Structure 1
Amino acid sequence: MIIVPERAIPDLLTRDASYRAVENVFAAMASGDAYNFPVIREAIGHEDALYGFKGGFDRVGGSLGLKAGGYWPHNLDKHGIINHQSTVFLFDPDTGMVRAMVGGNYSTALRTAAASSVSINHLARKDARVMGMVGAGHQASFQLRAALEQRPFEKVIGWNYHPEMLSNLEEVAAEAGLPFEAVDLDGLAEADVIITITSSFAPILLEHHVSPGTHIACMGTDTKGKQEASADLVARATLFTDEVAQSISIGECQHAIAAGLITEAGISQIGAVINGSHPGRRSADDITLFDGTGVGLQDLAVSAALVDLAVEKGVAIEVDL
């Protein structure tokens, strides 16, 4: 078995490798060559933690396995470590033997950012120039770096519940040589692309905050009850997601579905756009929305790429079970 420890991953995994892995697995999902297993997610009654498993099988990429982990909300305060903790286990699909154990924390951040950047590449207008961010926490920096590589943006604007955290976005914008402006929610109407990355349980982004032609990537809603965009805004948009079953149950579309404003048939897989079986954006005035719920196959695809990189660079740890 190969072990790729968490400490080695930042030097191995690039945004480009993450993007390619996620784009390929989304395409495989849409063509029926890859599927996710049902998600298990539980409040364990200890440390207010949520713990669970996401897994799947990709026949094209040959990835079989699961990610185990969750959210420990007191980690940072009590232990000085990040609140999200996870590990990925890969198995040989031909024999069932365990192939690898891979640290999942840094790779989860990159694979989540890769998903939104895939949606921007395939759905945002080619002339998009203003990048908008809702949320400025740890994951927001990963999201913004990946997004800025997808279009020749000229400006970044952002809003956060805690304005003092907007410096995180300003630093990333400065890295890219772009100006940054803190705005109120109405000011987001200037944005051509908006990423929402919060842990909100009430809508933040409303219909009048978004201009025609905007692409929205909602990346924070991955649990029943969470919500970043109003149901009216979701209903107005042309909708795409990583996996429809998750979108309507734990993703951003759950609320519009419950309100009867949209149907499951109105939500398309982003992989269909990648494969060319869906046209994607139909006009410059379309509002497109990608509901990034986060699927196990993303983690498996990125982890498989990590194993290959670790072996190639001689940093993989091999053990006998």
Structure 2
Amino acid sequence: MLVIGQSEVVELLSMKSCIDVMESVLTDLSAGQAVQSLRQVLPLQEGNLLGLMPGYLPREAVAGAKIISIFPHNHRAGLPSHQGAVALFDSVTGVLKALVDGQKITAIRTAAVSAAATRALAREDASTLAILGTGEQAKSHLKAMLLVRPIRRVEVWGPTVAKTQQFQAEMSQKNDVEIVVAESAQEAVKDADIICTVTASAKPVLSGAWVKPGVHINAVGACRPDDRELDSALVKQSRLYVDRLESAHHESGDYLIPLREGTIEPSHIIGEIGECFSGKINGRGTLTEITLFKALGLAIEDLAAAQFIYNEAIRLHKGIEIAF
């Protein structure tokens, strides 16, 4: 069995490569050529969670699962909120091939999926990006968005001013783009062509009254049926795409809450983003439409990323081989 750690995941899985891998595997999923079970979540103490995400990629002859801990308040102790590993099994022999760090896979593949959706749905001339949130996903989403649209200005907002300023200073050194600290979430998004919500908030941080026509939104942070980052008005006025219909129907408060309110109908979801990638459903129709991609994070994304990393590790002789 090959053990592949964090530093090697970052080395072997570039954001650019991951965007293409995510587009391919989500297309396969929507076409019935990849299989996964709904995420199983075990509640722990103080609102913490342990998640199990199994899946199967027939094209790659690999099956496996990500097991991940979600501790939202870990930042207080200087620890990441998401930690875990992806186990890869050969689906022909049942052999455990690899154990791959899950924290960095989650950071990279989540932003890569948003970038693939942005590439499909955002206006071609989108040049102003707003990021709500300042954690690891904010950093990875900035990197990903710069690869798919000609971003010239970034407005960032977070609930803690010091952390927002730290994000601005750190990311300005690493990226050749103007990054500005916004005084409020409303100020951050008012001129944005693309908005990424990557917060840990359980209540809306983004309102439909604040956004301009033609914006594209990637909503990433909320992943439980009673949590949401978007208000109902915004969801109602948007063309809504999801990563997986089954997941949205069970896990997405951003969809389920306005549905329960009667603000939207079940038919409000246009479809899965993989269907958009394949051309089965339409993407943006006009320059003034508001498009919304709601991501919950899927097992097949983790497996596809881990399999790519495994193949690169074999090719480049990376990782640690252990008897198991």
TM range (shorter): over 0.9
CA distance in 2, matches of 1:177, 1:7: 24
Letter in 2 for 1:58: L
Q: How do residues 37-76 of structure 1 correspond to structure 2 at under 5 angstroms? A: 37-45=37-45, 49-73=48-72, 75-76=74-75
Q: 1:8 to 1:137 in 2, by over 3 A?
A: same
Q: Which residue of 1 aligns with 2:220?
A: 219
Contact persistence 1:224–1:250 (CA under 8 A):
yes
Q: How many residues align?
A: 319
> In structure 2, how many angstroms separate the alpha carbons of the residues matched to 1:242 and 1:24?
13
1:313 pairs with 2:312: no
Q: Residues 158 and 77 (structure 1 numbering): CA distance in 2 closer, same or farther, change over 3 Å?
A: closer
Gap regions ≥5 residues in structure 2: none
Shift of 1:226: 1.4
Distance 1:62 1:121 in 2: 28
Match of 1:202 in 2: 203
SS of 2:212's partner is coil
RMSD: 1.8
**Structure 1 residue 30 corresponds to structure 2 residue 30:** yes
After superposing the two structures, state which structure 1 stretch, 248-257 or 238-247, moved more.
248-257
With over 3 angstroms needed to count, the CA separation of the structure-2 counterparts of 1:87 and 1:284, relative to structure 1, is same
Offset, 1:211 = 0.7
Q: Could you tell me how far apart the structure 1 residues matched to 2:7 and 2:180 are? A: 34
Task: Quote the offset at 1:57 in angstroms.
Answer: 1.4
CA-to-partner distance for each residue in 1:118-151, whole Å, 9 max, x for gaps?
1111100001111111111222111111111111
Cα separation, 2, equivalents of 1:31 and 1:83: 33
Deviation at 1:174, TM superposition (A): 4.8
Find the counterpart in structure 2 of residue 111 from structure 1: 109
Alignment pair present for 1:284 and 2:290: no
Identity of aligned residues (%): 28
1:199 touches 1:226 (CA, 8 Å); kept in 2?
no
**Alignment-derived partner of residue 176 in structure 1:** 175
Alignment match, 2:131: 133
CA shift digits 1:4-46 (9 cap, x unpaired): 123422222211122122111111111111122121111133x
Distance 1:230 1:40 in 2: 26
For the 8 Å contact 2:61–2:92, the answer to whether it is kept is no
Find the counterpart in structure 2 of residue 257 from structure 1. Answer: 259
Cα distance change on mapping 1:99 and 1:137 into 2, 3 Å: same
Contact 2:186 2:206 in 1 (8 A): no
Measure how far apart 1:77 and its partner are. 4.6
Q: Alpha carbons of 1:261 and 1:284: their partners in 2 closer, same or farther (altered >3 Å)?
A: same
* TM-score, with structure 2 as normaliser: 0.93
Distance 1:191 1:44 in 2: 38
1:280 counterpart SS class: coil
Structure 1 residues 174, 285: closer, same or farther in 2, change over 3 A?
farther
Unpaired stretches in structure 1, ≥5 consecutive residues: none
Are 1:83 and 2:86 matched, yes or no?
Answer: no
TM-score by length of 1: 0.94
TM-aligned CA deviation for residue 275 of structure 1: 0.5
- For 2:76 and 2:2, locate their aligned partners in 1 and report how far apart those are by CA, in whole Å: 32
Cα 1:18–1:154 change in 2 (3 A) is same
Change (3 A) 1:239 1:99: same
Q: How far apart, CA to CA, are the structure 1 residues paired with 2:226 and 2:239? A: 22
Post-superposition shift, 1:236?
1.0
Query: Following the alignment from structure 1 to structure 2, what is the Cα–Cα distance between the partners of residues 16 and 258?
Result: 38
1:96 to 80, 90, 94: 94
Structure (1/2) with the larger helix percentage: 2
Aligned CA distance change for structure 1 residues 25 and 208 (closer, same or farther; 3 Å): same
**1:151 and 2:165 correspond:** no
Q: 4+ residue runs of structure 1 moved beyond 6 angstroms?
A: none
